[in-house]
Amino acid sequence: MTPTTHPDSIARRRLDTPDVDVVVVGAGFAGLYLLYRLRSLGFSTKVIESADDVGGTWYWNRYPGARCDIESIDYSYSFDPEIEKEWQWSERYATQPEILRYLGYVADKHDLRRDIQFSTRVESATWDDNASLWRVRTNNGDAITCRFYAMATGCLSLPKTPDVEGVKRFRGASYYTGRWPHAGVDFSGKRVGVIGTGSSAIQSIPIIARQAAELTVFQRTPNFSRPAYNGPIAAEKKAAFATDPAAYRHAAKWSRAGVPVEPTLMQALRVSAAQRLAAYEAAYAAGDLLALGNAFADIGANPEANETVGEFLRGKIRAIVHDPETADALCPKDHFYGTKRPCLDSGYFETFNLPHVRLVDLRKDPIKTITETGIDTASRSFALDAIVFATGFDAMTGAIVAVDIKGRDGLALADKWNDGPKTYLGLMTTDFPNFFMITGPGSPSVLSNMAVSIEQHVDWVGACLAYMRERHLDVIEPTPLAEAAWGQHVNDCADITLFPRASSWYMGANVPGKPRVFLPYIGGVDRYRKACDEVVQRDYLGFAFDGAAGARCNDGVICRLQPDVAMLIDIMAELGLPAIDTLWVADARAFSVAMAAERPPGPEVGAIADGVLPGAAGALPYRLYRPAQPGPHPIVVYFHGGGWVLGSADSDDPFCRDLCVRSNAIVVSVDYRHAPENRFPAAADDGFAAVRWIAANAESLGGEPEQLAVCGWSAGGNIAAVVCQRARDAGGPRIAGQVLVTPATDCDFTRASYVTNGDGYLLTSALIHWFWDHYADPADRENPKASPLRARNLYGLPPALVVTCEFDPLRDEGAAYAAAMAAAGVSVRHLDCRGQIHTSVISVDMILSAAGARAEIGNALRQFFGTSPAAEQSALRVALLSSRAESAV
Ligand SMILES: Cc1cc2nc3c(=O)[nH]c(=O)nc-3n(C[C@H](O)[C@H](O)[C@H](O)COP(=O)(O)OP(=O)(O)OC[C@H]3O[C@@H](n4cnc5c(N)ncnc54)[C@H](O)[C@@H]3O)c2cc1C
């Protein structure tokens, strides 16, 4: 996109000289590196930190057992090769004191403390639009002005206030894991209660149990945890790092979670139970936070696949914990594995076998109140000397909105984010110019090795400021369009996973009143980095700038494809497959058969039977899918895709199964004759002959008379459309409805979607030409039997659902056919699937983001047959013209 002048730009204003170029809030991993980077770029920078030293997370969280759960080699800075050589971690997962020493060492090495003001809390930051700077105020009364304001305040830095009655009443000692006393705590001989069973509790409970006379753990939600098997760093890992640290870091930066791990494409439910178990045992033994979730590709998205890990871990808990009731209470059953942050532990579950340790399941026996002397649950009183609150954090947004941040026109960030945070790339937010967040909401942050994500954000911000300085730009702000689209993309990514189903802190669910939105970006560190880089390469796409050189805006959207579609396209590109249009037909067919064999099989149906029916010029094979419920059922006659050249009942088998289940109808998939052996109009003639025969034999097939619809994908959509016209013209058979999925409807190759989507989205315009060349002579192509859009009139056709996809070369001709039918008075719904490609809708269990479109197709068929339940009927009444296909998994 060519940068244009910002339409809303205001005449240049007075530019005051600020006290410093940048104020950074926070001196943890992020603030320290940001200071280093900005200083090295020549920006005057002041860091403000409420603690009295550096360290952030590792300054505050001094509870017993606190340590990282991403291996220290990975969870460390990469920006300074000298540090990488000088600093040696003592074990796989370093303790809090060691990490704190490390951060102190980094601060010393680069003399960072001289620009950090400690023991000072930033209370407010206000954008002064006239002077184009931020006015920052602290609890000490300092007022500092800066051109840029960056919050490196941490995703997990604002402890949540415990929502338990009577907290202040307790006369014993109270401790908060996130604000642990520096001198440490000795629990010897004490009766201790721990409230919470998240990460901090799971780390601290085994150690507290070693000291305490009695330990009572109050658990609201059991968590998945497994042994860390902490110890010396594995020799191979050490060697891999030492041999080529740059290559090691590069792999981490371009990995899914910021740790160099090769992703698998293997699916949990496509291997035997024994293979699955072996993979889980190996992952369990690895003592690695990410290993189990990475064991199979579908664990984060497929409930059944996920359940296999959940059950595996529950089995481990039952094997460790002796008392069956306690074991059962410790087994997480209310969320999918990984959708709440899993934990690594050192003897957590074993602790519950100790005679002086007990578990109180608050689901069965909730806390009534904290008293002066302990805790009262609904059924008991527990006398305690000390209570440890391991109640977590107001994650991701808490520390940001805790500062009174006001942007343009006095807009408060807390108000803007009332319904959930809105950001562009998790880095900036509209109406808050020159305001950066390090690992802000909408970035991979807490779903990644944060050291990697922090460095990536800091580098991006540093490069952005340098870019602005070079071009005499003073103000940067994301555009509303870019921000809204990023929010959409973040949700698209989350929606194809199981994560939004959990009441987790990722969803804000641990803080009463906090809006339930998915806060981090789950599309992966690698894809996220690619998006951020692309924004820069495309001249800061989605940003508006202002400065001495004038105002400019490069409005636009990054990441327009659905995330799983983008992933599929990348995988296909990596495989380096041949373009079909360069192959001989026989090879192309063999290739498409081989590709089809790799797909997930689709859902189970009641029964499948192959048969033969009379086509226009001889017998045609067909495959019939019968629903599990007893019939008779309506019938859907289905025509597969493949450009009239390729395909079979096998090629579209998963989609036919899906259609059968969703529509509760019999699906008859017809193997019409293919070109070039049988050119136009063989396929169209066979399609019509098949529909006539199936209509005439509906009852013997188990169908209901007069309850027949047609459906087809791509060239099959073309055949379905032609069949409807011919049935109308021939006075029958009666067709209750037609579903045309990304259909070919015309032989005009000049439409815009051919130009914009003709290359890069699997179906290419070259391939479409190849198909047409094999199917129909140029003289025949305008015949409505080849190009149904060319029919003289389209009145009296059956009601239709036309599905088009945004990134399909055939999009515009599908849309044109829908519009033409509607203009002729046909009842038409047009579903344009945002971010999808030609093959998305039929890619069952592969393109999960198209599951919503598949649901719409099932609903439409039920509606044609009058079998959709009332609720579905009303949902279908929603105007669908150009609406987006909701992603639903
Ligand atoms: C117990 C625990 C274990 C963790 N383990 C891992 C792990 O293994 N791997 C991993 O990737 N991540 C882990 N994390 C996440 C961790 O928070 C990040 O890895 C990282 O430390 C965050 O660094 P940061 O600089 O962004 O924020 P923080 O370290 O949280 O630092 C933010 C700083 O900002 C200061 N601050 C906030 N608001 C203000 C204000 N208004 N004025 C002044 N100062 C302010 C705070 O005092 C704090 O010092 C863990 C978190 C916790 C709590």
Q: Has this prediction a pTM greater than 0.85?
A: yes
Counting ligand 1 atoms within 8 A of each CB, the residue from 99, 153, 439 with the most, and so the one to mutate, is: 153
State the closest ligand 1 atom to the C-alpha of 123, by its place in the atom list counted from 1: 41
Whether cis (ω within 30° of 0) applies to the bond prior to 681 is yes
Please determine, for residue 11, whether its predicted confidence score (pLDDT) is greater than 50: no
Counting ligand 1 atoms within 8 A of each CB, the residue from 29, 57, 119 with the most, and so the one to mutate, is: 57
Give the three-state DSSP class for 853.
Answer: helix
Cα–Cα distances (Å) from 795 to 636, 799, 804, 815, in that order, read: 22, 11, 21, 17
Higher pLDDT, 853 or 550: 853
State the closest ligand 1 atom to the C-alpha of 199, by its place in the atom list counted from 1: 1
Take atom 9 of ligand 1 and give the residue whose Cα is closest.
70
Q: How far is the CA of 450 from the centre of ligand 1 (A)?
A: 9
Closest among 437, 450, 79, 427 to 258, alpha carbons compared:
450
**Is 29 a pocket residue for ligand 1 (Cβ < 6 Å)?**
yes
- Helices and strands per DSSP (H, E), number in the chain: 28, 29
Query: So what's the pLDDT on residue 884?
Result: 32
**Is 26 a pocket residue for ligand 1 (Cβ < 6 Å)?**
yes
- b (16+ CB within 10 A) / e for 572-602: eeeeeeeebbeeebeebbeebeeebeebeeb
State the closest ligand 1 atom to the C-alpha of 120, by its place in the atom list counted from 1: 43
The helix-helix angle for 235-243 and 245-253 (nearest 10°) equals 100
**Is 403 a pocket residue for ligand 1 (Cβ < 6 Å)?**
yes
Nearest-angstrom CA–CA distance, 390 and 680: 72
Q: How far is the CA of 26 from the centre of ligand 1 (A)?
A: 9
**Is 302 a pocket residue for ligand 1 (Cβ < 6 Å)?**
no
Q: How far is the CA of 55 from the centre of ligand 1 (A)?
A: 8
Q: How far is the CA of 797 from the centre of ligand 1 (A)?
A: 63
β-strand partners of 343: 225
Please determine, for residue 240, whether its predicted confidence score (pLDDT) is greater than 70: yes
Q: How far is the CA of 445 from the centre of ligand 1 (A)?
A: 11
For the record, the structure tokens of 14 come out as 């007075």
Closest among 247, 227, 100, 152 to 445, alpha carbons compared:
152
State the closest ligand 1 atom to the C-alpha of 69, by its place in the atom list counted from 1: 8
Nearest-angstrom CA–CA distance, 696 and 708: 11
In this prediction, residues 781-800 reach a mean pLDDT of 97
**Is 61 a pocket residue for ligand 1 (Cβ < 6 Å)?**
yes
Asked if 586 and 643 count as a contact pair (C-beta separation under 8 A), the reply is no
Q: How far is the CA of 196 from the centre of ligand 1 (A)?
A: 20
Q: How far is the CA of 30 from the centre of ligand 1 (A)?
A: 8
State the closest ligand 1 atom to the C-alpha of 157, by its place in the atom list counted from 1: 30
Q: Provide the pLDDT confidence category of residue 867 given band limits of 50, 70 and 90.
A: confident
In this prediction, residues 137-160 reach a mean pLDDT of 97
State the closest ligand 1 atom to the C-alpha of 68, by its place in the atom list counted from 1: 8
**Is 447 a pocket residue for ligand 1 (Cβ < 6 Å)?**
no
Please determine, for residue 374, whether its predicted confidence score (pLDDT) is greater than 80: yes
Please determine, for residue 876, whether its predicted confidence score (pLDDT) is greater than 50: no
Q: How far is the CA of 67 from the centre of ligand 1 (A)?
A: 13
* Residue range 636-682, pLDDT digits in tens: 999 999 999 999 999 999 999 999 999 999 999 999 999 999 999 99
* Residue range 564-590, pLDDT digits in tens: 999 999 999 999 899 999 999 999 999
State the closest ligand 1 atom to the C-alpha of 200, by its place in the atom list counted from 1: 1
**Is 450 a pocket residue for ligand 1 (Cβ < 6 Å)?**
yes
**Is 399 a pocket residue for ligand 1 (Cβ < 6 Å)?**
yes
State the closest ligand 1 atom to the C-alpha of 450, by its place in the atom list counted from 1: 11
Q: How far is the CA of 97 from the centre of ligand 1 (A)?
A: 15
DSSP secondary structure of 317-360: HHHH-SSHHHHHHHS--SS-TTSS--EEESSHHHHTTSTTEEEE
Nearest-angstrom CA–CA distance, 319 and 805: 50
Q: How far is the CA of 32 from the centre of ligand 1 (A)?
A: 11
**Is 440 a pocket residue for ligand 1 (Cβ < 6 Å)?**
no
Beta strands 386-389 and 173-176: pairing type?
parallel
Query: So what's the pLDDT on residue 13?
Result: 52
% the chain with pLDDT above 90: 93
In this prediction, residues 697-702 reach a mean pLDDT of 97
**Is 454 a pocket residue for ligand 1 (Cβ < 6 Å)?**
yes
Asked if 864 and 704 count as a contact pair (C-beta separation under 8 A), the reply is no
Nearest-angstrom CA–CA distance, 624 and 649: 9
**Average pLDDT taken over every residue of the chain:** 94
Q: How far is the CA of 160 from the centre of ligand 1 (A)?
A: 14
**Is 556 a pocket residue for ligand 1 (Cβ < 6 Å)?**
no
β-strand partners of 46: 23
Q: How far is the CA of 156 from the centre of ligand 1 (A)?
A: 5
Please determine, for residue 9, whether its predicted confidence score (pLDDT) is greater than 60: no
Please determine, for residue 834, whether its predicted confidence score (pLDDT) is greater than 50: yes
Asked if 331 and 324 count as a contact pair (C-beta separation under 8 A), the reply is no
State the closest ligand 1 atom to the C-alpha of 61, by its place in the atom list counted from 1: 1
**Is 51 a pocket residue for ligand 1 (Cβ < 6 Å)?**
yes
Q: How far is the CA of 37 from the centre of ligand 1 (A)?
A: 19
Query: So what's the pLDDT on residue 14?
Result: 64
Take atom 37 of ligand 1 and give the residue whose Cα is closest.
153
Take atom 31 of ligand 1 and give the residue whose Cα is closest.
56
Please determine, for residue 880, whether its predicted confidence score (pLDDT) is greater than 90: no
Closest among 1, 125, 2, 14 to 546, alpha carbons compared:
14
Query: So what's the pLDDT on residue 869?
Result: 59
State the closest ligand 1 atom to the C-alpha of 67, by its place in the atom list counted from 1: 3
Take atom 4 of ligand 1 and give the residue whose Cα is closest.
68
**Is 151 a pocket residue for ligand 1 (Cβ < 6 Å)?**
no
Q: Within 13 Å of residue 730, how many CA atoms lie on the same side as its CB?
A: 15
**Is 110 a pocket residue for ligand 1 (Cβ < 6 Å)?**
no
What is the chain's percent helix, strand, coil content, to nearest 5? 35, 20, 45
Q: How far is the CA of 29 from the centre of ligand 1 (A)?
A: 7
**Is 733 a pocket residue for ligand 1 (Cβ < 6 Å)?**
no
% the chain with pLDDT above 70: 96
